[in-house]
Structure 1
Amino acid sequence: MLKTKLCFILTLFCGLMYAQTKISGKVVDTNNEPLPGANIVEKGTKNGTSTNFDGAFELTVAENAVLVVTFTGYETKEVAVNGQTNLTIVLSEGQQLEEVVVTGTRTPARSNTSSPLPVDIVGVKELQATGQTTFDKALQYKIPSFNTVNTPVNDATSLLDPYEIRNMGPSRTLILINGKRKNLSALLYTQTSPGRGETGADISGIPTDAIKTIQILRDGASAQYGSDAIAGVMNIILKDSYKDGSATFRSGITGEGDGEMLGVNVNNGSKIGDRGFVNYTVDFSKTALANRPGTVDAEGEFADFGGTRPGETLADIQEFLSRRPDAGNINGSPETTAAKFLINGSVDVSDKTDMYFNAAYVYKKVNSFANYRTPYWRDIQDFPYLENFFPGSNPTNPGGYDGYVPTFEGDLNDFNATLGFKSKINGWNVDASATFGGNTQTYTVSNSHNRNVVLSPATWVDANNNGVVDPGETTESTQLYRENSPLSFDPGGTSFSHIVGNIDISKVLSDQVAIAVGAEFRTENFEVIEGGLASYDGGGADSFAGNRPENSGNFNRYNLGGYFDVAWDINEDFLLNGTVRAENFSDFGSTFVWKASSRYKFMEDKYTLRASVSTGFRAPTLHQIYTQKAQYSFIPGQGIQVGGLVNNISPQARFLGIPKLTAEESTNFTVGIGGKPFKNFSFTVDYYNIQVEDRIVLSTEIGRTAAGNTTLDQVLDTNNLSDLSFFVNAIDTRTSGIDVVIGYSNLEVGTGKLGFNLSGNYTIQNEREGAVKNPTIVANAGQSVVNQTQEALFFTSRPRTKWILGTTYDIDKFSFSLNNTYFGKTEFFQQGLSTDANGNFNLGTEFTPKVVTDLGINYNATKNITIAANINNIFNVLPEWSFVSQNAAGDAILADPALVKEQSNLITFNQRYSQMTYDGYHFSQLGTLFNLSLNYKF
């Protein structure tokens, strides 16, 4: 079936080819300098192109065509062709009135107001104006439907935070760099926090100063781009100018006096002879630790860890906490060092062919910490050698032993590169490219030990050296760890890489019809890097066990896809667009998806109605298929336990009857209206509805049964695990909501110009549809792979609504911005909270809606020097949560302060994570941030 569809697409494509005549021209600024990368679109069509390094272009148009010419930072210009065959178009610097959209369509680009799809376009200046130090955090305060936040527990997740669009998880947003697929991260989020069970591309490592614009398509786009585009597409378009270079020095600090940040970056460009350019960015930064521990509750600690040795009392724990109120915990935002390099360029290899290229490399080093091992948790009577390993100042213990805090050090290497050619062949636009990308994350655990009893193979001791076993001579074994344990461990890590080949061909067949056809071949490789023996042997390093040999290895797959796209301008106002795509994966088979969209303009093009309907898919990632490991996690009421993550192709999975993963399938529907009823005012309102079938989830922790003699119990006992989890196509979901964007700019107030913008996202529905699809062994054990905790993480752990109200005022050399970001409530049902006899929660938690206010001031000291000061979260607004009763039993708990305290201890690890609980929160816990930057333009 797949071959038939691909043959049909290629046959149709070949049958439509024919030559057309062209016009030529050049786009320059008022100084007659060429503008490479300027966009030229035939008004009312999808026919478009961009200028080369010399500002030149060629384009086939109708004799009476009008060209819409745009370039970032310059005013849009409309030029009537009137039969001319050679044009020189001069653009003046100023406010760009209309962007050209290249995301969400495979036919030639069209202007933003002509697009049938909702696309957010964000320039680099808007990102920089947020004052945020990384790209992902800048988007958090710029795009309402985009959410990201630090995870509470800083181990592997400290290297990059999960992000998502429309509350759909990081796996369902496709990231593109200049229209080409960005590689996934090697990290799989396994903590019980937002993003659990997912992986995504590392966008935090992209240097902001290398970006020209961001185009965020808020619509399903699997038909155009393939897997991962269920929620939308983010296309990061890199700077393409050899001029206007600059150097920037950045510094910052939190209102608490920690989290100091220093950074420097250079963005510049250069000509490549007379036929090309290169733009490059170098960015170095370091951010110090920002520590936000809670004050630990002694009674809760005694309930979890007390009584581990005879005579131990609550007073012993209170004595320790009197010296260390936070129990030695270090959590918040870890120390991070980053080096980022990026280049983007193009060379004209002939009159009709351009070679383009880009490449990026990011190195990140993160130093974070596990939970502090208190002296009543890791007791010196159980481990007497600890007095030598971790000497301290506790007067009650030998050697002053006072506990220890294991470190977690992560090294991230991320790279991506694309080499491609764009040509004009008999009127056809041909784009062929190869993209390479990879992400490797390796870890080091220090200041820890392997506390497990593991003996070396027995060795016979020949006391009299006669070669005969005599009376009294025995075999002896050596304790490999405990008192002989190393203090630093290599747990290994993970790596992901891909190679992607693309060919995209498009043509405007007439004034009304444009087509595109293309193919993509992608091969992916996921590696679980084996840890050192001591990191996993017997149970491994205390805090973070390494990857065992049987769980490590290289895993690969490939897929081939093809698409056909047609756009039909029925008339100047009415557009229809359709795309079909077929793909075949080596590990789970074929899929076929489609998309149809439309746009209608009316009232002299002041208003636009648009709609789309599509099917989509997301292939299970190699991470989800092959990851298998033991991991330490906090179990409320039980402390830290070791659980197992079983992959779907392992012997254990077969033994348990866990099915293999298959692709998620989706149906997307979007309808909206946009308008520009008068000068400087515009708005868009879009409704979306996304249905996902067979959604892949990481199950909740499945524990022992009451009977204790099932197959499930046998697997847990054999592997010395408290519980196990696995990936499964478990649920069907529906997500719907409304996106609103309103802008009013260039209002003259005094001698300056005032602007307002309001954008928001409101989630109408985000929930499971139908019953959970439990494997038989889980159902027979009376458990479920998805419980209320899991559902809260999937559906209510991000704000139900989020709004951004921004004001800008430009006057003389100053530019002021004031932004207010409203984070709606989030809701959780944390593991460990009180439940009734049926397992339903008596209590839930709710994070209170909050408004975070940011102020930015830019001062253009000279033509070349700009000073920018930002105060983020001026009023030091912090996350706050409270219990919410679910029934009469919950009411009774809330009426008893002692019971409330007990429940609070269970979900905050005895107040270690008092501000956000152990499962997460809705915005940063760091409070006020001060940032200052100095920019020098070359």
Structure 2
Amino acid sequence: MRPLHCTALLFAMAGTAAAADKVTDKAVQESNDYYQRPLEQLLRVETQAKAAVGSRGGARDALDAEVPIDIITSAQLQSTGQTELLRALAVLVPGFNAPRPSITDGTDHAPPFTLRGLNPDQVLVLVNGKRLHQSSLLHNNGTVGRGSSGVDLNTIPLRAIERVEVLRDGAAAQYGSDAIAGIINIILKGYGQHSQATVTYGRTGEGDGITRQATLFHSLPLAGDGFVNLSAEWRDRGATNRAGPDAGDGGRINTRFGDTDTQDGLFALNAELPRGDATLYLHGLYDQRRSSAGAFYRTAGDYRNVAAVYPDGFLPRIEPKILDFSATAGVRGVLDDGARWDLSYTHGHNDYHFYVNNSLNTSLGAATPTSFDSGATRYTQQILNADFSKKIGPHTVAAGYEFRQERYRIVKGEPASYMLGGADNYAYGAQGFPGFSPDNEVSAGRQAHSLYGDLKYGVSKRLMLDAAARAEHYSDFGSALNGKLALRYRATDDLLFRSSLSTGFRAPSLSQSHFSYTGTYRNSNDAAAQFWGNFAVDHPVARALGATDLKPEKSRHLTLGMVFQPSAQLTASADVFVTEIRDRILPTGYISAYSLSSLSPQAAAILAQNNIDGAVYFTNAIATRTRGLDLRLDYSQELENGARLKLVGAYQRSRTRITDVNQAPEVLGVNMTDLILDPFTKVLIEGGQPADAIKLWSKYSQGLYDLVLNLNRFGKFYSVSAYDRVSFAAKWTVDGELAVRLKKDITLALGGVNLLDVKPDKWGRTDDSLVGAGKVIQYSQYAPFGYNGAYYYLRVGVDF
């Protein structure tokens, strides 16, 4: 639908509503019924979920919002049996995809997620309404989210979370860069919480993947509704392995394809201290992670092996140490005229340090070390923010200013991790992950200033209009201006229509602009050294090959929906959406005469003059259109004998299509389709994620028992095998948990994830590679629910 048509539709609805009669307040009517209820029932009443995201006028009922918002409660997160936020959201949120990559270097240890099929960096993550920093890791292998950097959700302790708000709408005009697919706002537990200690033990049906978790949440109330909440968590998740036997190595299982072996120490703080009309607040997160995963196995006769060091072959282990922390301090208050203000400072940092063990540098011969420091990537973000809002009758006016400073660094590894020695072998550097060299080191930064304003205008009791605009200026690429118009029209007490039309953008990340990972090799001991790899866009070689400074991705977003609530027990909603993005940033294919047969003589000469075998850089490449549908049903019912039933059903469908391809640099002599859209990349963008998903979550409570069942359908997806598209069928999984309150303060939960031990289809290939039917790699890493099979767990919780 064209923007002009959408705008006309919005104003036509506004005109109809302006003439509406006054409406009966259904909520007031139903509230009168509460006076007739006994105290026991009143204590069990659930009020409508509140959401703070999507509006600067304060928290309001999620169902009355102008845009679709899902609320995931702490109880729902805990009932999934997952110990990590990433996995819990993948179970509960339709359109949220988090596959389990393996043998993908750094991505194994901080896996990405997507929302509505769009990349991790096209989703904005907030904590208590404040922007959370991204990871410094650039996903640079063939995974979902390739070429992007996203937030590492597993740095947040699950027991520290009160709720998660998922805004399924473009919101860059309100929150700035990245809010294209939507926003995930993580609300930490606040006032009135019980202190709790939990211990969890779990393992897969095949006996591996042993998980041990211990969490302590302590809440200290302060005067005047103040509080200090502290969360500490230790999480130890063992590795899984679903690799098949290697026929080329005597039928041994020598490769690890599965989850990493990971240990996390996490800490969270959330505190508020009221002082008159002002409240001081502070929240922070800290995570220190050690993780281990394998690369591909090097057999005894492999040219990358030194038989004197590993006579039977070896499996390199990539074992990073990851440090991630953030802190926000601020003060908010209310002026005499009722205006609200909020001043805050946020600091976030991610340090991803690569270590490689059980490896060698083949070019150093038998004198090679077997453990390496391969260097690090680091990202730091600092934000100053000032927000102001005021309610004027049914209207709300809000405005603010934000200053953001970012810095990205690459730190070189130790010389043995990247150097090319004198041994008669062209393989160089630490096998598994060669280190960053001095040529790769970089320290790049930028600043951004933002001014924004929101207007929520109550046309009548039935109609609310919401307009937003945001102007930003970045020191590296320039300015961006975006706007949003949304409306909510209550046609009857039971039926609400909503719509939004907005523009948005995503600033190119510093890692996309400045990432550099190059290596040196030679074909024989006396040959001249040659280079290969990923070059930053401002590198002389990349410039000579046509690279330019990256432009922001720009988007347009339309949502049309309705909410039907015939009673307090039943709510149904339906929303359709379209998201168009142009100038999407992707890495080029391998620019060389071998991979691009039509490469121009000029480009080939540039490569030859610099002794370069091939090069990759990031560029604004394509435009895409994502269309989708969201359906949701919530039902709750009080049953006999004090029992309660709660059901949540959701369906999401979205498909992304490439609609346009930009021009390739003239110097290369190739078109952008050949340069960017090889079969693998095209399938990854258009079919690498499930086309649809169904989530059916149910909870039955009676007395001391809670029974939770969770039914998931993960839709069909595609991958590429030897440049042929391969289809993987949709699958259903069932999760369940039975929780028993043994005493007033002790709860025992027994449950299982994927109880029917469903696994994705195996590859169908039968060629000589390691990937395919009966081969080492049996499953696609794109599988949305992984490939581990069933997982069982026991959890004990103590309130105090």
Q: Fold match, TM over 0.5?
A: yes
2:345 equivalent to 1:434? yes
Check if 1:673 corresponds to 2:562: yes
**Cα distance between partner residues in 1 of 2:283 and 2:482:** 30
Give the whole-Å Cα distance in 2 for the aligned partners of 1:876 and 1:748. 33
1:403 equivalent in structure 2? 313
The secondary structure found in structure 1 opposite 2:78 is helix
Partner-residue secondary structure (3-state), 2:766: helix
- For residue 574 of structure 2, what is the aligned residue in structure 1? 685
Alignment of 1:540-619 (within 5 A): 540-604=429-493, 606-619=494-507
Letter in 1 for 2:98: T
Summarize the Cα distance change of 1:254–1:562 in structure 2 as closer, same or farther, 3 Å threshold: same
For 1:551-596, what per-residue CA distance to the aligned partner results, in whole angstroms no more than 9, with x for missing partners?
Answer: 1121100000011110111111100000011000000000100000
TM-superposed CA distance for 1:68, in Å, is: 8.6
Give SS of 2:148's match.
coil
Question: CA separation in 1, counterparts of 2:205 and 2:664?
Answer: 48
Distance in structure 2 (CA, Å) of the matches to 1:656 and 1:586: 25
Cα deviations across residues 460-483 of structure 1 (Å, max 9, x unaligned)? xxxxxxxxxxxxxxxxxxxxx222
Deviation at 1:772, TM superposition (A): 4.3
Q: 1:610 to 1:172 in 2, by over 3 A?
A: same
2:657 to 760, 763, 767: 767
Q: What corresponds to 1:444 in structure 2?
A: 355
Which residue of 368, 372, 397 corresponds with 1:489? 372
1:333 matched to 2:333? The reply is: no
The aligned counterpart of 2:543 is: 654
**Of 785, 795, 798, the match for 1:933:** 795
Deviation string 1:583-632 (CA, Å, 9 cap, x unpaired) is: 0000000010000000011222x111000000000000000000011379
Q: Note the C-alpha offset of 1:846.
A: 0.8
CA contact (8 A) 1:67 1:79 kept: no
Superposed, 1:135-534 pairs within 5 Å as 135-241=85-191, 243-272=193-222, 276-298=226-248, 320-322=249-251, 324=252, 326=253, 328-349=254-275, 351-378=276-303, 383=306, 386-387=307-308, 389-390=309-310, 401-425=311-335, 426-452=337-363, 481-509=364-392, 511-534=393-416
On the 8 A contact 1:152/1:920 being kept in 2, the answer is no
Q: CA deviation at 1:808?
A: 1.9
Question: CA separation in 1, counterparts of 2:342 and 2:773?
Answer: 55
Change (3 A) 1:712 1:507: same
C-alpha displacement at 1:514, in angstroms? 1.2
| TM-aligned CA distance change 1:227 to 1:135, over 3 Å | same
| 1:304-330: CA deviation from partner (whole Å, max 9, x where unpaired) | xxxxxxxxxxxxxxxx324x2x3x111
> Residue 291 of structure 1 aligns to a residue in which SS?
coil
Residues 212, 276 of structure 1: alpha-carbon distance in 2 compared, 3 angstrom cutoff: same
> Which SS does the other structure have where 1:332 is aligned?
coil
3-state SS in 1 of match to 2:155:
coil
- How far apart are 1:848 and its partner, in Å? 0.9
Q: Distance in 1 between matches of 2:687 and 2:670?
A: 29
How far apart in 1 are the matches of 2:770 and 2:537? Answer: 32
**Do 1:107 and 1:566's aligned partners in 2 also have CA atoms closer than 8 Å?**
no
Alpha-carbon separation, structure 1, partners of 2:612 and 2:300:
24
Shift, 1:719, TM fit: 6.5
Match of 1:727 in 2: 618
Question: With structure 2 as the length reference, what TM-score do the two structures score?
Answer: 0.90
5+ residue gaps, structure 1, are 1-64, 70-75, 81-89, 299-319, 391-400, 453-480, 634-640, 834-842, 884-899
Whether contact under 8 Å (2:558, 2:577) holds in the other structure is yes
C-alpha distance 865-717 of structure 1, shift in aligned 2 (>3 A) = farther
The more displaced of 109-118 and 853-862 is 109-118
Aligned CA RMSD, in angstroms, stands at 2.7
Taking a change above 3 Å as real, the CA distance of residues 920 and 109 of structure 1, as seen in their structure-2 partners, is closer
Q: What letter is aligned with 1:143? A: V
Cα deviation code 1:716-746 (max 9, x no counterpart): 5567665432211100100010011112212
Q: How does 1:750-899 map to 2 (within 5 A)?
A: 752-763=643-654, 765-780=655-670, 783-830=674-721, 832-833=722-723, 843-881=724-762
Q: Deviations over 1:77-119 (max 9, x none)?
A: 7999xxxxxxxxx995324221222101122332223211100
User: Helix, strand or coil for the counterpart of 1:770?
Assistant: strand
CA separation of 1:800 and 1:275: change in aligned 2, threshold 3 A:
closer
- Residues in 2 aligned to 1:335 and 1:118: alpha-carbon distance in whole angstroms: 37
In structure 1, distance between residues paired with 2:531 and 2:755: 42
Aligned partner letter, 2:777: Y
Partner-residue secondary structure (3-state), 1:432: strand
What is the identity, as a one-letter code, of the residue corresponding to 2:761? E
Are the aligned partners of 2:600 and 2:668 in contact in 1 as well (CA < 8 Å)? no
State the match for 1:627 in structure 2.
515
CA contact (8 A) 2:83 2:213 kept: no
SS at match of 1:504: strand
Partners of 1:643 and 1:77 lie apart in 2 by 69
CA–CA distance in structure 1, aligned partners of residues 130 and 304 of structure 2: 54
Distance change (3 Å), C-alpha of 1:927 and 1:643: farther
Q: Gaps (5+ residues) in structure 2?
A: 1-23, 35-39, 421-427, 522-529
Residue in structure 1 matched with residue 777 of structure 2 by the alignment: 913
Q: Is contact 1:209–1:267 with CA below 8 Å preserved after alignment?
A: yes
Distance apart, 1:176 and its partner CA: 0.2
- SS in structure 2 of the partner of residue 921 of structure 1: coil
Aligned length: 754
Q: Is the 8 A contact 2:763 2:772 kept in 1?
A: no
TM-superposed CA distance for 1:781, in Å, is 7.9
Q: Contact conserved, 2:267 with 2:287, CA < 8 A, in 1?
A: yes
What is the distance in 2 between the residues matched to 1:870 and 1:526?
42
Distance 2:452 2:361 in 1: 54
Partner of 1:405, secondary structure, is coil
Residue 913 of structure 1, CA deviation: 1.2
* CA deviation vs aligned residue, 1:376-424 (integer Å, no higher than 9, x gap): 21377xx4xx32x22xxxxxxxxxx111111111111111100011111
Measured in 1, the distance between the counterparts of 2:547 and 2:315 equals 37
The AA in structure 2 aligned to 1:355 is: L
After superposing the two structures, state which structure 1 stretch, 681-690 or 110-119, moved more: 110-119
Deviations 1:245-292, CA, capped at 9 Å, x for gaps: 100001100100011111100111113466731011000011111111
Looking at structure 1, the residues matched to 520 and 161 of structure 2 have their Cα atoms a distance apart, in angstroms, of: 39
Aligned to 2:629: 738
Name segments (4+ residues, structure 1) moved above 6 Å. Answer: 65-69, 76-80
**Structure 2 Cα separation of the partners of residues 366 and 719 of structure 1:** 37
- Checking the alignment, whether the CA contact within 8 Å between 2:373 and 2:417 is kept in structure 1 is yes
Task: Report the Cα distance in structure 1 between the residues aligned to 2:329 and 2:411, rounded to whole angstroms.
Answer: 29
| Structure 1: distance between partners of 2:145 and 2:669 | 25
* CA contact 1:520–1:561 (8 Å) conserved in 2: yes
Offset of residue 647 of structure 1: 1.4
- Using the alignment, how far apart are the partners of 1:289 and 1:374 within structure 2? 22
**Contact 1:544/1:631 (<8 A) preserved:** no
Q: Return the match for 1:713 from 599, 604, 613.
A: 604
Q: Which residue of 2 aligns with 1:122?
A: 72
CA contact 1:297–1:910 (8 Å) conserved in 2: no
For 1:771, the aligned partner's letter is V
Determine the C-alpha separation between the residues in 2 that align with 1:909 and 1:155: 24
Q: Give the counterpart letter for 2:229 in structure 1.
A: N
The one-letter code sitting in structure 2 at the alignment partner of 1:486 is P
Which residue identity lines up with residue 443 of structure 2 in the other structure? N
Deviation at 1:508, TM superposition (A): 0.7
